[in-house]
Amino acid sequence: MKNIYLCLFLFASTTAKLYAQAAYAPYNRDYYHLIERYEIIKGTNNSEFHTSFKPYRRDQIITLINQYANDSLRLIQSASDQFNSNYILNDSWEQSLENTNSSKKPIWKNFYRRPADFYHYHDDYFDIHINPVLYLSAGKELGHDDFRFRNTRGIELRGSIDKKIGFYTYLTTTQTIFPSWVRDYALANGAVPGEGFWKEYGNEGYGYFSAMGHISFDVSKHIQAQFGHDRNFVGEGYRSMILSDFSNPYVFFKLNTKIWKFNLTNLWSQMTADVIYNRQRPTDGRYPQKWFSHHRLGINIGKRLNIGVFESVMANQFDWNYLNPVIFYRWVEHQLGTPDKVMLGFDGKWNFTPGMQLYGQFALDEFVFNEFFGIDGKNSSRNKHAIQLGYKYINVLKISNLDLQLEYNQARPYTYQEKFEYQAFNNYRTPLAHPLGANFRELIGILRYQPLPKIFVNVTGIYQSYGTDPDDQTNYGGDLLKNRLVTNTGMGLFGHTIGQGISNKVLMGNVNVSYMLRHNLFLDFGQTLRRKTAQNLDSPEIQSFSQLGIRLNIVRQEFNY
């Protein structure tokens, strides 16, 4: 990588005063919702960090939860709220020793001395936490004889050295047979969502090895650094139209600078490029690489509003110009002869009243003024942008721990695509933003309920309308693995609308009930119904999938695409 990450790491580490440090908590929608809902209940932005760039650091999470627990407004009231607060505090107990509990009955005196850790060692110089990772699930899909299942085993390890360097590593191996629509997605893209590389397992299954890891430290009181392999997520939504966690982990270096009401996040990464039209599993050999740079400047306006502006660059070759953390990327790209893909836009959230939040995103891929604002040109293929609008309502109708989320997403045709090879907005053949790529509209409704402290109910409904291509030689703008130069639609520059091509409509609903048997050990039941209609189908495709599972120290798997 031309020693770029080594240079960045050495620069940051040699200039660091190395303040107290902790690892980052892996991004988990269920877990992070428990953290963020208290900010919405209070109705003001928290003082510890901006929530629009995930994941969060464990010491900051604990500081925030302690603030909310001691808040004069009594934000943590119900039995489920108190359970969640204790659960989060115990999950990173080394950051808050006075507010956490030791296990009443350790195993053989050395194991599970704390509820969250199979084994730990903690003193003033070295801190380590070791946990097993397990995901066993089995399910039945209507119309298929074989069971769908997942068998994941592994280990998770985190800690700190001298209270200055935080570290985290995660290793698992998995054998699985997906529901039919997930398998179809993997076959169409040549990659397993969230994992990338795979090997065949039996006739229908996939096997893959997963690894994530990072180190983190403070460069100064206001500047934090992180280097590792992981995913990042931008925004407040269930989806992100800017940068999501859907693709597999990638190597990155991140700087986070928080001063007063401002928060500047710089992300530089190397990603795996895509061989156009080759949807099969790659053979041995080095895959082509591409280079991604992203920065977001966020500001808290008053106590309730946060606005962030961002720029992203995807380049098919490394260029030193994009390492400048305070430069306007579009200007740099112009100076280089506009060879790279630049996206820009903004995101925001508004806690407009205690218990309710509005959020949204706008990502602009290409802009021609007359076509963007002109009536005649509004359906130009160069009007490439994506929009998200969302709403959260915590404690609906004053029912404790009943939370509602509504979200609308859309992306115009050809958004995230590029005319040059290896510059599309994806990583290892899977989108960096929305699973559908582009050329779609989507509505999402999520109801989360915690009737008892250890029972978590999640009901999700999704409606999608999108367009697909009839063959590999036609490009209606939804498939990010295709080059912008490939069109063959006969439409020309204008007349491009969302959903063009072969019309597809998907209606999906799922219910998941989880019971926490002990800390981070969950028993899951899930039921999914999915109905797809398309112009090239004689009759609707209807899928019904039921599953039971047990998982330990791992994120609940979802198939909502």
User: pLDDT of 416-453, one tens digit each?
Assistant: 998 877 889 999 999 999 999 999 999 999 999 999 99
Terminal alpha carbon distance of the chain: 34
Q: Which residue has the higher pLDDT, 526 or 493?
A: 526
Structure tokens at 439: 């050329």
Burial 21-41 (b: 16+ CB within 10 A, else e): bbbbbbbebebbbbbbbbbbb
Which H helix or E strand runs over 388? strand 384-393
Residue 457: the pLDDT is: 98
Residue 2: the pLDDT is: 52
Alpha-carbon distance of 301 to 346, in angstroms, equals 14
Residue 106: the pLDDT is: 83
Compute how many other C-beta atoms are within 10 angstroms of the C-beta atom of residue 494. 14
User: pLDDT of 400-418, one tens digit each?
Assistant: 999 999 999 999 999 999 8
Please give the full DSSP string across 403-449, using - where no structure is assigned.
Answer: EEEEEEEEE-TTTT--SSTT-SSEETTEESS-TT-SSEEEEEEEEEE
Instruction: Provide CB contacts within 8 A for 30, sequence distance 6+.
Output: 456, 458, 514, 555, 556
Alpha-carbon distance of 444 to 546, in angstroms, equals 21
Alpha-carbon distance of 194 to 269, in angstroms, equals 17
Residue 264, SS3 per DSSP:
strand
Phi, psi of 460 (to 5 degrees): -125, 130
pLDDT band at 376 (very low <50, low <70, confident <90, very high): low
Residue 560: the pLDDT is: 94
User: pLDDT of 277-325, one tens digit each?
Assistant: 455 555 667 788 999 999 999 999 999 999 999 999 999 888 888 898 8
Alpha-carbon distance of 210 to 135, in angstroms, equals 13
What single-letter amino acid sits at 465?
S
Residue 143 gets which letter from DSSP? T
Average pLDDT, the chain: 91
Alpha-carbon distance of 388 to 6, in angstroms, equals 36
- The whole-angstrom distance between residue 122's C-alpha and the CA centroid of its chain comes to 31
Structure tokens at 553: 């120290």
SS3 sequence, 257-313? Answer: EEECCEEEEEEEEEEECCCCCCCCCCCCCCCCEEEEEEEEEEEEECCCEEEEEEEEE
Please give the full DSSP string across 30-86, using - where no structure is assigned.
Answer: HHHHHHHHHHHHHTS--SS--TTEE--BHHHHHHHHHHHHT-TT----SHHHHHHHH
Residues 514, 523 contacting (CB under 8 angstroms): yes
User: pLDDT of 172-214, one tens digit each?
Assistant: 999 999 999 999 999 988 889 999 888 889 888 999 999 999 9
Alpha-carbon distance of 308 to 295, in angstroms, equals 10
Q: Which of 5, 33, 7 is nearest to 556 (CA)?
A: 33
Residue 277: the pLDDT is: 45
Residue 70: the pLDDT is: 87
Alpha-carbon distance of 36 to 55, in angstroms, equals 12
User: pLDDT of 8-37, one tens digit each?
Assistant: 555 555 544 545 678 999 999 999 999 999
Whether pLDDT at 135 is above 60: yes
What single-letter amino acid sits at 89?
L
Phi, psi of 45 (to 5 degrees): -65, 140
Residues 464, 417 contacting (CB under 8 angstroms): no
Alpha-carbon distance of 554 to 560, in angstroms, equals 18
Where do we find the tokens 């960045």? 8
Residue 5, SS3 per DSSP:
helix
Residues 26, 396 contacting (CB under 8 angstroms): no
Instruction: Provide CB contacts within 8 A for 500, sequence distance 6+.
Output: 413, 439, 467, 476, 477, 489, 491
Residues 304, 350 contacting (CB under 8 angstroms): yes
